[in-house]
Structure 1
Amino acid sequence: MKNFLKNFVRDESGASAAEYVLILAIVGSTIAVGALALGGAISDSLTAAGTAIESYEIEPAAG
């Protein structure tokens, strides 16, 4: 039992797993925030392009 407790205290594999989970959570949340921001920017750009196309008037050819 004493050896089991010593080995349990010295085992750092759980700490490594927790660190990997934290890194994945940070990277995942950064990707999600970036995707939301990029999606908003693309939406705004397409709306502006659509508005510009709708407001464009073709002038009759001089003739």
Structure 2
Amino acid sequence: MVNFVRSFLKDETGASAAEYALILAIVGTGIATAAWTLGDNIKGAMTTAATCISATNAKPAANC
């Protein structure tokens, strides 16, 4: 077991292109999901703000 740990720590081989592609796919998916969610939240906030601004009656909407 000690020899395995030593050899593992001394191993200097790099990641292959397939591993880099997998990491890129995972990170890209995370970024895309975060951007999509953020976009939806911003859209909702803008819709709410537009509703509150364009309200013509004296009583504002419930979420203003």
Instruction: Give TM class, smaller chain.
Output: 0.5 to 0.7
TM-score (norm 1): 0.65
For residues 3-47 of structure 1, give each alpha carbon's deviation from its aligned partner in whole angstroms, at most 9, with x where no partner exists: xxxxxxx87110100000011000000000000000000000000
Where does structure 1 lack aligned partners over 5 or more consecutive residues? 1-9, 57-63
Query: Which of the pair has more CA radius of gyration?
Result: 1
In structure 1, the residue matched to 2:57 is: 55
1:32 aligns with 2:36: yes
Which segments of structure 1 move beyond 3 Å, counting only runs of 4 or more? none
TM-score (norm 2): 0.64
RMSD over equivalenced CA pairs, Å: 1.8
Identity %: 9
Where does structure 2 lack aligned partners over 5 or more consecutive residues? 1-13, 59-64
Name the one with the larger helix percent. 1
Greater relative contact order: 1 or 2 (C-alpha under 8 angstroms, separation 6 or more)? Answer: 2
